[in-house]
Structure 1
């Protein structure tokens, strides 16, 4: 069995990857890989998120979800009742993201431009996944992780979708879906996809969920104020906007 990597990777997305019915209000797909050093994750990131939950809910069973936070739904309806409480929560959450030591590898696909440029394009998800895995490989090679097993954690989306994603993932890391002139040695490491339900209450998946939409919005509306992106920009290892 391969030695485990010093890093753990959590993945989230924003937008859908359909090319047959493109939402003209949000015609992009973003994929975000959040790479954590396991020591930092255990000792700094998880305790900070747990403390936030106990501070605002009195327990840690709540799951941070960007959509529900933004819409003040579910466990976040309290954000509608008290302006000072809402501003305090947003400030605390923003600070956690800012302080958390992790790197971001991301890809944002403009689906309209993709269909205009290519007659039979790959799925936006596969394009984004390919880019992110290539840059993840480069990151791992540069941090002395060669020969180790790297777990890449995705949130479950459904049996068929998860099986399709796992197949695409394994084809890429097996070198079956090379593109361009540069050949990447995925065999230097052992990349292992893992799928977790939202109910597992994974801190890493929850933080990854907070990153994908700001990255997508930066491409979609580059001149719009984007406080979270300003923080994420300092954590970017790589980002690719395509095409």
Structure 2
């Protein structure tokens, strides 16, 4: 079903152990991933001539303090703290798992195979092979 579905996938993977080992004051990996994904999303919307339309990012709730911190970073990124510029067309929605959101369910399904591919690229990963064609990558106009 995933292979037949028409969608473009934007993803970011942060190896937390390598990130912590590399930096003396590491940035929050969720905030880094959020920034990467927002930049790619904005470029995608620009390519599709849709950057003038409101787009909602659905984010799964974690804890109140973490959600507030992530929302603050989201606002900073939208205000221009990124490689693309201001993103007034983006808005964030925090969703509880209880809402049974199709988007969050899809994100759960694709996250593990993508992360596993990045951490162990030589390991067979049939799920990633299906997802690979849907990934938005540099220079690609999905």
Normalising by the residue count of structure 1, what TM-score does the alignment of the two structures yield?
0.53
Q: Spell out, residue by residue over 1:15-52, the C-alpha distance to the aligned partner (whole angstroms, 9 max, x if none).
A: xxxxxxxxxxxxxxxxxxxxxxxxxxxxxxxxxxxxxx
What's 1:131 paired with?
36
Q: Helix, strand or coil: the match of 1:109?
A: coil
Gaps of 5+ in 1: 1-95
Number of aligned residue pairs: 138
More displaced stretch, 127-136 vs 113-122 = 113-122
Q: Helix, strand or coil: the match of 1:105?
A: coil
What's 2:72 paired with?
167
Q: Distance in 2 between matches of 1:120 and 1:155?
A: 26
Deviation of 1:212 after TM superposition, in Å, equals 0.6
8 Å contact kept, 1:106–1:238: no
- Cα RMSD of the aligned pairs, angstroms, is 1.6
Q: Distance in 2 between matches of 1:202 and 1:117?
A: 36
Which structure's CA Rg is the greater one?
Answer: 1
8 Å contact kept, 2:79–2:85: no
1:140 to 2:40 alignment = no
Q: Once superposed, which parts of structure 1, at least 4 consecutive aligned residues long, lie more than 4 Å away?
A: none
8 Å contact kept, 2:42–2:51: no
8 Å contact kept, 1:104–1:238: no
Q: Spell out, residue by residue over 1:121-177, the C-alpha distance to the aligned partner (whole angstroms, 9 max, x if none).
A: 2111111111111111100011011321111111111222211111111111111x3
Q: Distance in 2 between matches of 1:110 and 1:157?
A: 19
What's 2:84 paired with?
184
8 Å contact kept, 1:137–1:186: no
Q: Distance in 1 between matches of 2:21 and 2:93?
A: 34
Deviation of 1:236 after TM superposition, in Å, equals 0.5
8 Å contact kept, 1:107–1:128: yes
- After TM superposition, the structure 1 = structure 2 runs for residues 55-204 of structure 1, keeping only pairs within 5 Å, are 96-175=1-80, 177-178=81-82, 183-187=83-87, 189-204=88-103
1:235 to 2:134 alignment = yes
Gaps of 5+ in 2: none
Normalising by the residue count of structure 2, what TM-score does the alignment of the two structures yield?
0.88
Q: Which structure: greater strand fraction?
A: 1
